Amino acid sequence: MDMNIFQALVLGVVEGVTEFLPISSTAHLMFTSSLVGLAQSEFVKTFEIAIQLGAILAVVALYWRSFLNPQMLSKILVAFLPTAVIGLALYSFIKAHLIGNTAVALLALGVGGILLIAFEHWHGKRTSADHETTSEITYKQALIVGTAQAVAVIPGVSRSAATIVGGLLLGINRQTIVEFSFLLAAPTMAAATGLDVLKNYQSFTSADVGVLAVGFVASFVVALISIKWLLSYVRRHDFKAFGIYRILAAIAFAFLLLK
């Protein structure tokens, strides 16, 4: 076993907090693993992917009605297609060369922060739909948002940031694209987790299952809180603060991990 219960709990909390915020959960899990003394072994990499199931369950628990709406579900699946194709085609490369790559994650985290601030400065001068809902998102918009999400196969980019920025560029209401990002996370993370577990489950031990369960439960509970907080936050604020945080976090992680 590569980790203990405490380490699994810490990583589960970090996943729950960061998965739906535009700050890259993948980068934070990588850096947190290093800070708590975990090497980026195959099990740790799989653990960091698998505990996303807890965050997925939080989305399903809060938005289960949307997943029972055939039209909404079809739009979510259309948006999921670009990431599915790219993720499946590049799975081996991503797992071997991107996941766990500190330099790539640090660069993407910092540059992403700068771009997020610049985007919000520019976008703040534009207007978006005032009363749009997720049901009003078109199939074309869904596909474009999904294509934007696919950029997040690079650690540190942030799936939610890519999805939200893609939607805002299309003129979709801020709260609406945040909610659509939550919905799109479900098939995206479920597919990533399922593919990885399918390829690596034979290497798991009974002790590994125990720490996975701890990480899963922690990410589920904390993700519920994080989702509700973000929805409240975007009603009054833009994402510049997250851009500033990303830059500071990249500098702090670089100092701690690369010194």
Instruction: Supply angle C-alpha 54, 181, 51, rounded to 5.
Output: 15
Q: Are 10 and 216 in contact (CB under 8 A)?
A: no
| Range with the poorest average pLDDT among 25-29, 91-95, 101-105 | 91-95
What's the rounded Cα separation, in Å, for the pair 213 and 219? 10
Distance in angstroms (rounded) separating the CA atoms of residues 164 and 159: 9
Nearest CA-CA partner of 181 in 3, 25, 37? 25
Average model confidence (pLDDT) across the chain? 87
> What is the C-alpha separation between 53 and 166, in angstroms, rounded?
24
Range of the domain at 229: 5-258
Rounded-to-10 torsion of CA 136, 138, 139, 143: -110
Confidence band for 130, pLDDT divided at 50, 70 and 90: low
Query: What is this structure's pTM?
Result: 0.86
Quote the number of domains for the chain: 1
209-235: pLDDT as tens digits: 888 899 999 999 999 999 999 999 998
Helix 42-50 to helix 174-200 angle, to the nearest 10 degrees?
140
Q: pLDDT tens-digit profile of 157-183?
A: 999 999 999 999 998 988 999 999 999
